[in-house]
Every structure is written in structure tokens, then in C-alpha cells.
Amino acid sequence: MRSYETGKYAILKDGNFQLTMARVLASDFDEVFVTVPEDSSDMDDLLARFKDHSNVHFTKVKYGANAVETRERFWGLNEQLMSGIEADGSVDVLVTDITGYSGNLSVIYNFNITKLPELDRPYIDKFFEQDLKSIEQSLFTTVLNPRQRDYILEVRPDLLNKVIVNTKCAHEDLLPQVAGYGHPSDPMMIFWPFRISDKAYQWKQFCEMFEREQLFYKGWWVLITDPNDTATDLPEFVQKTKLTKDEYYEILSEGPIVVMLDDIDTVLHPGTIEFFHYGSPVIAFEADLLDNPNAIKSLDELPQALDRIRFDSFDEARWRTHRFVYSSHEIDQYYNQVFVNVRKA
């Protein structure tokens, strides 16, 4: 998650990082070295948050100016570092979501997003051949939803034993149980913690619907966090705030109404699971992957959905997300030394 204003990365605001750390904490590896961008704005907060995990170490490396440049240049930018790690011989396995690694370490890939024919994402699709070659060379590759695996196997059925669906993407130890679990302090607020610049969330379409239905005059308003600093010319019904990670979870703990217009069945975000975990009513499109009492079929149904919002109880929220959240002492069935050693053998 990189700011367009400062050029610095905000590590703790990034969903891929949340997924990575959830699986790190659910592994039984003796020591884990996690790479992070060297030009980051929240390094001190990051270190403080993981200070009690003595087996986790953070290593600053070079990242690109955005996700595409990082995928294109990461291994070249960090060639010297990787050569030293490979020559040292102390690292057993590399776990990464940046495809195209060509070194001699055993590698596990995490694919939180991949090419899908029903989605127009040229910045993802351009790497698909590289993705397939990376799966082929991996010990195994995890994807976050069944649709990803189905399409990969349509194209390359020979990769059947390499691709695993693993929907676990959040961890109880990363989700503080802050006081105040319940209904939001302002029941007419819609919480929008997504990038305004990402077309997948349909911010423009949402605002047009909001104005067309005159929801502002009915008392509704929207709180955005604008994590990559791209929001401009905001309408009168929108307020902007900047939150620390702790402040973000304090808001979530109240169960604010969230409108998320991405497709859960094709892109499963750790952040989405966090909303449900804290009992937030999430107005999102119907999905097979996740049961949601506030689901809609189209954006036109959103005003009616707001009128009939259903809140989960604490137990309902935990039940709804149990397939996606690691418990505190759970060892992931794939990210453990025995499974990795069997695959290596």
C-alpha cells in the first residue's frame, strides 16, 4: 500500500501483508524472515506490533514504485541479497507472492490474485504465463478461492497436484479484541476503507447511486480512509480520516456498515474477513464463498439493503468467518515443516 503523496509504503495497511503474517503466525517454522519495503512510513509501528514474536524478523529490501513494477523488477533489484541467502544455506524455503523467482531455493507461492477471463485486469493478466511457470517449479502454490484454481487447471490440468485452495487469510492474534463490540456509534455512517483509485470497488458508481437516491438527505454519509492518498474533489456526503492500525480496529469493533462492491468469489481480501469477524454488516454482491445476510444482486438494491441492515451477534460473526481465520494456537496444514519436507522429498 503505497502513498501517491509521499511515495512511502504503509506496510500495515496492505492486505497481502496481513495474509502473509497470518500464515507466518500459523506456521511452525523455527525462524521466519519477512521482507518489507525499505522506504516505509510505519516501520516502528510494525516492529512494535510483532515484538512478542521472537522468531519473526523483518528485512528491508527494494520494492518498485507500484505493484506492477515490483513484480517486474523485484528479483533483479534484490539479486545481491538473494545470492547471499542462497549461498549461505541456512534458509530452507522461500514463500512469496512475487512470481518469476529463478534461484535455487525451494519455493512456495501464494496467489491471492491471478488472471481470470471474466475480469479485465491487464496489470494482472500480463504475468499469467510467468505465474504458470512459477507454479510448475514450486513445492506447491496456494490460491485464495476455488475460482482461481479452476481456471488455472482449465489452462494447465497437469498442475493439479501443485495448486491448493487455502482460504485461511486472517489470524486471531492479529485481530485485537478491543472493547466496544456492537453497533456503530453513528448508524447512518458507511465505512469505506478501500482505495478510491481501485476501479474494482466501484467508488464512482457508488457515489452516483448515492446522489441519485439522495441518501445524504436521508441522513447517510460516508467515512473514507483513502489509504493510498488519491481522493480528490470529494462530494459533500464524504468525510476523510487517517487512522492508525489500532484506531482502525477500534472502528471495526463497533461493527460499522461497510459497502464493498468487489467480487468476493474472485478476490478474497483478508480485510473482508476482518469486517465479518468484527460483526460489520457488509453490503456486498452475492457470493458462493461466504454466506452474507446483507448481500445484494446489483448496485440498484443498495438503498433497500441499507434500510434492512442485519447485524451479526458475536457468535454469529465468529461462525461466519471460522473457515477463514486461524485460531491462536492453530498450525496451518500446509505451512508446516512436515508438509514442506514431504513436498521437498
The per-residue pLDDT for range 88-132, each reduced to its tens digit, is 998 999 999 999 999 999 999 999 889 999 998 898 999 999 999
Phi/psi for 241 (5° steps) reads -140, 155
Q: What angle do CA 207, 209, 213 make, to 5 degrees?
A: 120
| CATH 3.40.50.2000 segments of the chain | 189-323
Q: Which CATH number fits domain 11-169+327-344: 3.40.50, 1.10.260, 3.30.70, 1.10.3470?
A: 3.40.50
DSSP β-bridge partners for residue 296: 285
- 182 falls in which pLDDT band (50, 70, 90)? low
The string of pLDDT tens digits covering residues 124-159 is: 999 999 999 999 999 999 999 999 999 999 999 999
pLDDT tens, residue by residue, 275-290: 999 999 999 999 999 9
Place of cell 475460482: 147
Q: What is the CATH architecture assignment of 189-323?
A: 3-Layer(aba) Sandwich (3.40)
| pLDDT interval class at 4 (50, 70, 90) | confident
List phi, psi (to 5°) of 201.
-85, -10
Q: Do residues 247 and 240 make contact, with C-beta atoms less than 8 angstroms apart?
A: no
Question: What does the alpha-carbon distance between residue 257 and residue 240 come to, in Å, rounded to a whole number?
Answer: 16
Q: What is the pLDDT of residues 17-38, one digit of tens each?
A: 999 999 999 999 999 999 999 9
> pTM here?
0.92
Residue 313: per-residue pLDDT: 87
Residue 130 confidence (pLDDT): 96
pLDDT tens digits for range 304-341: 999 999 998 888 998 999 999 999 999 999 999 999 99
Residue 291's pLDDT is what?
A: 92
d(CA 225, CA 193): 5
Report whether 132 contacts 162 (CB < 8 A).
Answer: no
What is the overall mean pLDDT for the chain? 93
Write out the E strands in the chain.
Answer: 32-37, 56-61, 93-96, 106-111, 140-143, 163-165, 170-171, 189-192, 221-224, 238-240, 257-259, 282-283, 325-326
pLDDT band per the 50, 70, 90 thresholds, residue 220 = very high
Please enumerate in sequence order all residues whose Cβ is within 8 A of that of 191, keeping only pairs 6 or more positions apart, or say none: 184, 222, 223, 251, 256, 257, 258, 280
Q: Please tell me the predicted confidence (pLDDT) of residue 164.
A: 97
Q: Does position 178 have pLDDT exceeding 70, yes or no?
A: no
From the list 270, 327, 322, the residue with the least C-alpha distance to 291 is 322
